[in-house]
Structure 1
């Protein structure tokens, strides 16, 4: 709730006040909150440690991936003394790939996972103009939306 309200400092104080119990300290929600606090305080080494050494559920991956990338972008911008462009961000992503703890390991190309791309490619060779029903089936099979 504190994170959603944008009250990161108060969230940090709350996390600091939690008892030193392993079951509590290793809880995924607590770890995720610690990562958010570390990012907002600019403690990027702590953020990277939290993300690299703890497993996270797939539903948390997008948020944690964004933190990982933004932290590396901020560090690169400080180093260069100017904002990163598209190529600069691409180079940062290549230099600091996402850890396996917050990524399923499947490569993406043009924002689509390779598995989805191959299914779409195979489908297109057999039927380049699917019906709305076929589009729904295809979307369910690939995890994409019908528009995609």
Structure 2
């Protein structure tokens, strides 16, 4: 009896390894429909369905069929090995990107994908907890940044060495350096443009004079004379007094005051007041003469 049990264990283990091997081969070959049919044909055996290769195959099939809820359930319910994390992380992120694009009705840009990653962080079952940025681990990015400060143009041999040190491919390393150089050039060009604009404005005499003379060119409505209204402050005293003012009949007074003697400090009001007083004198002057004659 014991011999039969021990003999069954290797057969059971061997069967699980065969199933896992078939799942891996079908995944690598891209035969997702055949993979789905193979998984459906497996017997209801718990140890088979808990096999990591089988679970990963189920996740791949669920993703390609658009059954994202089943995909999330599989990824969150089992602790996967680190070597399977990159593949499963891609499935998690792509599924959330697709759902977000359906809701918004348009493709996601870099900012939109960043917001999705923040809203739906990777579960710890497929993530080792290390912070990632643009799908690069921070440890890898720090190695690339340190190399970039010394040499922004690594040779092909150096790129291969960096790829081995960071766990990235040579193409990923090349693209990272290319994108970083482009960003730095764009930032330098923007800074030069801002400096040129600021220097041009500070040394432009036309701009400076226009800015400085705004207060001289501008005036309030109170200082402007309405069109069609005579400017009384510019009228001469002779026009205001008229030829028959009667000032010559006043005894003991000198000649009428000249234009320079008329006060204009008060503006229009002072001139009107002076004109009114002169007009008042022209009326009273004949009356005073008649009174003198009657008294004599």
Deviations 1:20-51 (A, max 9, x none): 11110000000000000000000000000000
Higher relative contact order (CA 8 A, sep 6+): 1
Note the C-alpha offset of 1:140.
7.9
Residue 57 of structure 2 corresponds to which residue in structure 1? 33
- Which residue of the partner structure matches residue 108 of structure 1? 132
Question: Could you say if the C-alpha distance between residues 144 and 36 of structure 1 is closer, same or farther in structure 2, counting changes exceeding 3 Å?
Answer: closer
Structure 1 ranges of 4+ moved more than 3 A: 109-122, 138-146
For residues 16 and 79 of structure 1, do their structure 2 counterparts lie closer, same or farther at Cα, with a shift above 3 Å needed?
same
What RMSD over aligned residues (CA atoms) do the two structures have, in Å? 2.9
Match of 1:22 in 2: 46
Alpha-carbon distance in 1 for matches of 2:76, 2:105:
27
| Matched position secondary structure for 2:29 | coil
Alignment length (residue pairs): 144
> TM-score, length-normalised on structure 1?
0.78
C-alpha spacing 1:82/1:104, structure 2 compared with 1 (3 Å): same
Select 2:93's aligned residue among 58, 61, 69. Answer: 69
The answer for the alignment partner of 1:46 in structure 2 is: 70
Give the whole-Å Cα distance in 2 for the aligned partners of 1:70 and 1:39.
9
CA distance in 2, matches of 1:23, 1:47: 20
Name which one, 1 or 2, has greater alpha-carbon Rg: 2
Structure 1 gap ranges (5+)? 123-127
Name whichever structure is richer in helix by fraction: 2
2:216 counterpart residue number: none
